[in-house]
Each structure stands twice: as structure tokens, then as C-alpha cells.
Amino acid sequence: MGKIKKNNELNLVRSVNKNVRSSTRKLKPILKALVGKKVDYALRDLEFSSKRICIDVKKTLASAIANAENNYQYDIDKLVIKEAYCGKQIIMKRFRPRAKGRAAPIIKPYSNLTIILSELKQDKKDKYGTKS
């Protein structure tokens, strides 16, 4: 999938997926909807989305979750998506023949996808919400 980094002070795990075959314009609304959600809710939303690119986003998120669990022993139930963003990669340029000897350009963009997970710190509370 890509690189995984951890910041010890803030309990962050980062996963990067490079060369995703989609434009940043199509990725940004999906990623904005994920920020701040718990990972199990985010996976559920991606599972039932009708967008094609959600498959790659789900793979990247699953990779980040697995690395947070296996490499840093984080609890999956406490993981939250802190940041999710994308950036431009290369653009393949192709041409399509048109009428009267002309040509029309076809642009095929690629993107980088980054997801940063954080572990929630919860205070010890009893079932009524008061600290014990």
C-alpha cells in the first residue's frame, strides 16, 4: 500500500497509497466525509458507497487499521480518522481523433491518498457519565 509512520507523542498512524487512478476532485468529497469518524463506521460507509474509488480508499484505511493494531498494539475500537487528504500525482495525456483531422486531449489523472489515524483517549467514567 505505502508508507506507515507513527508519531509517538500524539498516537498517530499514517498510511499512504500512491498512484490511485482517480482525480483529486473525485476523492476529496469522500475523504471529507470520513474525517472524525470511528474506523468501523468509516469502513461501513465505504462498503456501501456506489463510487468506484471507494474500493481503494477502503484498502488504504484497512491497511492503516491493521498496522495500528499489529505494529503499535492500538485498540481498534478507539481508532478515529484524524486526517484524510489527497494530492496530485502524474497525469497521463492521451489524444482521441476527431472530425476533420483534429484531435481532442484526454487527461487521465492519478492521485496520492493519505489517511492518518489517531487513538481516542477516554477518561475513566462510570455508566452515568461521572468521573470515578
Q: Residues 64-94: pLDDT tens digits? A: 999 899 988 899 999 999 999 999 999 999 9
Residue 122 burial (CB count, 10 A): 7
Residue 131 covered by a domain: no
Q: Is residue 132 part of a domain?
A: no
pLDDT tens profile 86-104: 999 999 999 999 999 999 9
Q: What is the mean pLDDT of residues 9-28?
A: 89
124 pLDDT band, cuts 50/70/90, is: low
Domain assignment present for residue 124? The answer is no
Give the C-alpha separation, 75 to 53, whole Å.
Answer: 27
Q: Give a yes or no: residue 130 inside a domain.
A: no
76 occurs within a structural domain? yes
To the nearest 10°, report the CA torsion of 85, 31, 88, 24.
-150
Q: What is the pLDDT of residue 2?
A: 63
What domain range includes position 55?
4-119
Q: Which of the four pLDDT bands, split at 50, 70 and 90, describes residue 11?
A: confident
Which of the four pLDDT bands, split at 50, 70 and 90, describes residue 6? low
| 50 located within any domain | yes
CATH of the domain at 36: 3.90.470.10
Angstrom distance (rounded) from CA 28 to CA 37: 16
Q: Cα separation of 77 and 80, whole Å?
A: 9
8 Å CB contact between 66 and 80: no
> How many folded domains does the chain comprise?
1
pTM of this prediction?
0.81
